[in-house]
């Protein structure tokens, strides 16, 4: 049975971290929000459902049978063993989930660079705060997170090819997306990434050419980065 | 063997969500960060450890044997079955984790009401942005989250006593902390909570008088809310 992924259409957004795992594993899935009007209606029906036990707060969520699993890290923790994309010993699932939750935090901070005051306001209406927020993000937060992930790769007992162990995990795929997104949004501020984050850059480049990922990136299933997503390129914010 | 919880001393912070679960279950634990100089040294040694496979990004983290599990929701997902604080069927663990991750998002937004631009700056240096951020939080975000959790309780097939099923889970304990924190930080903006969030208020009040929780709240292990934590009372921000 195909997995049902529910997410807003028209942007990569948080859904993209789940798509990359499904695509790498060649899992059968329906991207419900992209199935036209019927897809959006199905998404909203769940979000607004008044008879549903434990409705989700927001997309993305995964539906398998009657179970609805919201939040990227939660979906990936659930899918990890099924897709063969998490290290085997049970305890390492929590290690992977810890890394994924640090990625979640970074993603939220990236979102807040262009929307520091309110998601409900336009970027143009919070531009001054966005400038200040982004300046701090690029000077302090981005280097703190990226140095951390660089170090995680360096300290993997099996070598810096993957975040943990000797096999690809969903965390590695999410780091690919993170580096792709940051370099799209902040081309100037990230231009020295290949020099200072060697392991991360190598990871990104290796994952981009994995056959299933390369095929996905070249397909029309991959929405391009755009100004509706989390990673947005506003030249005036790029340090 | 006692669980080792690592968190900064002097504030409730994110560690408090873990403490409440450990206290309710009467689990044996060491609050390492509060063990004086040696405790802080142990915490920093792990954070800065250069030989550790997959070091944590930040506290809180739980150490059990050689495994280090960071992030509140991850720690609680790990501890849930061990402490008897999560619904039994395996799939419901992901439902509970989804709720906990929504709490995580709300906690981050509460933090950002007083630090919308940069964690590294003083509140006083980002007061204007904090005012704007908090106005949006109190008008839009807090009601959105609280209505959601109210609805989750109302839609529990077993009745509104707990978030899911007929038994207490760690999510319920975290919701107690959330309501306690919001009413501390924003006494004015939350004064009508008992009228509009009847289920949430009842949940909060029931949990406060559970014997193990009441004993904990009255003990010196419970740090009081203060201006170092996530929930801070700045009268000028309270709507």
Q: Give the mean pLDDT per block of 10 residues along chain B (239 residues).
A: 95 98 98 97 96 96 94 98 93 97 98 97 96 98 98 97 97 98 98 98 98 98 96 95
Whether A239 has a pLDDT exceeding 90, the answer reads: no
Query: Is A185's Cβ below 8 Å from some Cβ in B?
Result: no
Residues of B in contact with A50 (CB under 8 A): 151, 155
Q: B77 vs A95: CB contact, 8 Å cut-off?
A: no
Question: What is this model's ipTM?
Answer: 0.98
What span, in angstroms and rounded, lies between the C-alpha atoms of A87 and A94? Answer: 10
Q: B102 vs A70: CB contact, 8 Å cut-off?
A: yes
Nearest neighbour of B53 by CB, restricted to A69, A105, A156: A156
**What SS3 class is residue A157?**
coil
In A, residues 78-107, which contact B (CB 8 Å cutoff)? 78, 91, 94-95, 97-99, 101-102, 105
When pLDDT is averaged across residues A5-22 and rounded to a whole number, the result is: 98
Q: B53 vs A155: CB contact, 8 Å cut-off?
A: yes
Query: What are B13-58's pLDDT values in tens digits?
Result: 999 999 999 999 999 999 999 999 999 999 999 999 999 999 999 9
Which pLDDT does position A88 carry in this prediction? 84
In percent, the amount of chain A with pLDDT more than 90 equals 96
What span, in angstroms and rounded, lies between the C-alpha atoms of A55 and B95? Answer: 9
Q: What domains appear along chain B, each with residue ranges and CATH number? A: 3-83 (3.40.30.10), 90-237 (1.20.1050.10)
Sequence-distant (6+) residues with CB within 8 A of B69 are A94, A95, A98, B61, B62, B63, B75, B78
Query: In chain B, whose CA is at the least distance from the CA of A50?
Result: B155
Task: Find which of B48, B62, B71, B139 to mutate to test the A interface (most A CBs within 10 Å of its CB).
Answer: B71
Q: B118 vs A102: CB contact, 8 Å cut-off?
A: no
Task: Copy the structure tokens of residue B100.
Answer: 């906990």
Q: B69 vs A152: CB contact, 8 Å cut-off?
A: no
In A, residues 44-63, which contact B (CB 8 Å cutoff)? 50-58, 61
What span, in angstroms and rounded, lies between the C-alpha atoms of A85 and A21? Answer: 8
Task: Find which of A71, A140, A171 to mutate to test the B interface (most B CBs within 10 Å of its CB).
Answer: A71
Whether A206 has a pLDDT exceeding 90, the answer reads: yes
SS (H, E, C) A42-87: HHHHHHHCCCCCCCCCCCCEEEECCEEEECHHHHHHHHHHHHCCCC
The 10 Å Cβ neighbour count of residue B8 is 17
Q: How confident is the model at residue A1 (pLDDT cuts 50, 70, 90)?
A: confident
Q: B117 vs A116: CB contact, 8 Å cut-off?
A: yes
Q: A136 vs B148: CB contact, 8 Å cut-off?
A: no
**What SS3 class is residue B5?**
strand
Nearest to B239 by CA among B182, B167, B163, B196: B182
Q: A71 vs B112: CB contact, 8 Å cut-off?
A: no
Which pLDDT does position A61 carry in this prediction? 98
Contact A130, B149 (CB under 8 A): no
Contact B181, B110 (CB under 8 A): yes
Query: Is B199's Cβ below 8 Å from some Cβ in A?
Result: no
Query: Is pTM beyond 0.95 here?
Result: yes
Q: B74 vs A101: CB contact, 8 Å cut-off?
A: yes
Nearest neighbour of A98 by CB, restricted to B70, B129, B156: B70
């Amino acid at each position: 049975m195909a997995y049902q992924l529910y997410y807003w259409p028209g942007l990569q957004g948080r859904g993209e971290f789940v798509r990359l795992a499904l695509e790498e594993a060649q899992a059968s899935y329906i991207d419900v929000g992209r199935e036209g009007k019927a897809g959006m209606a199905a998404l909203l029906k769940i979000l607004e459902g008044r008879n549903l036990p434990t409705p989700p707060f927001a997309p993305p969520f995964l539906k398998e049978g009657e179970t609805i699993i919201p939040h990227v890290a939660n979906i990936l923790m659930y899918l990890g063993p099924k897709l063969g994309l998490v290290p085997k010993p049970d305890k390492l699932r929590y290690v992977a989930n810890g890394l994924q939750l640090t990625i979640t935090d970074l993603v939220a901070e990236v979102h807040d660079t262009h929307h520091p005051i309110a998601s409900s306001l336009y970027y143009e209406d919070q531009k001054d705060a966005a400038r200040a927020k982004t300046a701090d993000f690029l000077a302090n937060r981005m280097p703190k997170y990226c140095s951390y992930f660089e170090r995680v790769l360096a300290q993997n007992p099996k070598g810096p090819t993957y975040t943990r162990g000797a096999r690809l995990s969903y965390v590695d795929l999410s780091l690919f997306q993170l580096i792709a997104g940051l370099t799209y949004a902040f081309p100037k501020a990230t231009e020295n990434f290949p020099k200072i984050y060697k392991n991360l850059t190598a990871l990104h480049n290796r994952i981009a050419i994995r056959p299933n990922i390369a095929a996905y990136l070249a397909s029309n299933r991959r929405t391009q980065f755009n100004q509706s997503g989390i990673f947005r390129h506003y030249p005036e914010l790029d340090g």
